[in-house]
Amino acid sequence: MAASDELGAITKAFSGFGVDEKSLISILGKWHPEQRQTFRKGTRDFFIQDERKFERWDDRHVIQLQHEFLRFKHAIVLWTMHQWERDARLLKEALYKGPQHNVLIEVACTRSSEELLGARRAYHSLFDHSVEEDVAFGIHGPERKLLVALVSSYRYEGPKVNEETAKSEAKFLSGAIKGAAGNKNLIENDEVVRILVTRSKLHLISVYKHYKEISGNYLDEDLEGDLYLQETVQCLCKPQAYFSKVLDASMRPDVDEIKKEAVTRIIVTRADVDMKQIKEEYNHKYGVSLPNKIEDVANGNYRDFLLTLVARGD
């Protein structure tokens, strides 16, 4: 391989999600000091000229690469965890980093009642607190009531849906959304919160359908200005569309580290649940297959592991 090709290969190995360990070993392992210096001088994306006349790593990229080298390990650790522990740790991390309201909503709304109960039990064991307690303590905005109620919920999961009640609640939501325009924050409406945190998912899917018939728009479209309510509705009523949207956002160029983490989180947690439907939705919405997108943006063992998990849905 020519020197210029090797420089390009190494730069690519360091870029994206994860690192290409095989390229790093085969190329860097045989480089002489002069070749490494050439790489440092020719790769200004990673190195800067120190005032003492040597090329040093840009601190920002050192931190980034530490994350990228750990990405494969993190995916493996999450995959081998019991689902309850995994979700409990995701909830704790979401509170520690931000907090990340979307992860709290995602775990609370896309798991079954028994799975969420299991995560709450694991949270007790791991952290000596209830997740409800930590959410109530760590969230200070008007969304606190919604989030505490979501992580506390235990929904009916049977097949029965009262269509008249669903239609009535769809009509109420339509009126509440129109009435909230420019006025009171919709998330502070107790009845709106009650409907979203207590009704079964099948019931809410029926509400979603009736809302479209009544208003002409989809419920989540009309909640554009209320992100937490919008994400709640999407996770409860159309989770595959939600996961596809988050995956696409997390694999865009120059995305921040927090958003990047969604790739691991979603693929690991959905591999044995609804990955086939997520792939179909992703392909339909973005015109590219999810495996091909992962091939384009990820590197090395991390990429190969993600592709293995994604293939489980076939």
For the whole model, what pTM was predicted? 0.92
SS3 185: coil
CATH topology of domain 84-237: Annexin V; domain 1 (1.10.220)
Q: What are phi and psi of 56, to 5 degrees?
A: -125, 155
Q: Where are the domains of the chain?
A: 3-57, 84-237, 241-311
What single DSSP character describes residue 188?
G
CATH topology of domain 241-311: Annexin V; domain 1 (1.10.220)
Q: Residue 17's beta-bridge partner residues?
A: 298
Q: Are 223 and 229 in contact (CB under 8 A)?
A: yes
Q: What is the DSSP string of 249-296?
A: HHTSTT--HHHHHHHHHHHHHHTTTTHHHHHHHHHHHHSS-HHHHHHH
Residue partners of 147: CB distance under 8 A and separation at least 6:
101, 104, 105, 108, 135, 139, 228
SS3 49: strand
pLDDT of residue 182: 57
User: Same fold for the domain at 84-237 and the one at 241-311?
Assistant: yes
CA–chain centroid gap for 118, Å, is 20
pLDDT in tens, the chain (314 residues): 566 678 788 888 888 899 998 888 888 888 889 888 888 887 777 889 888 989 898 888 888 888 999 999 999 999 999 999 999 999 999 999 888 999 999 999 999 999 999 999 999 999 999 999 999 999 999 999 999 999 999 999 999 999 999 999 999 999 999 988 655 689 999 999 999 999 999 999 999 999 999 999 999 999 998 999 999 999 999 999 999 999 999 999 889 989 999 999 999 999 999 999 999 999 999 999 999 999 999 999 999 999 999 999 78
pLDDT of residue 41: 85
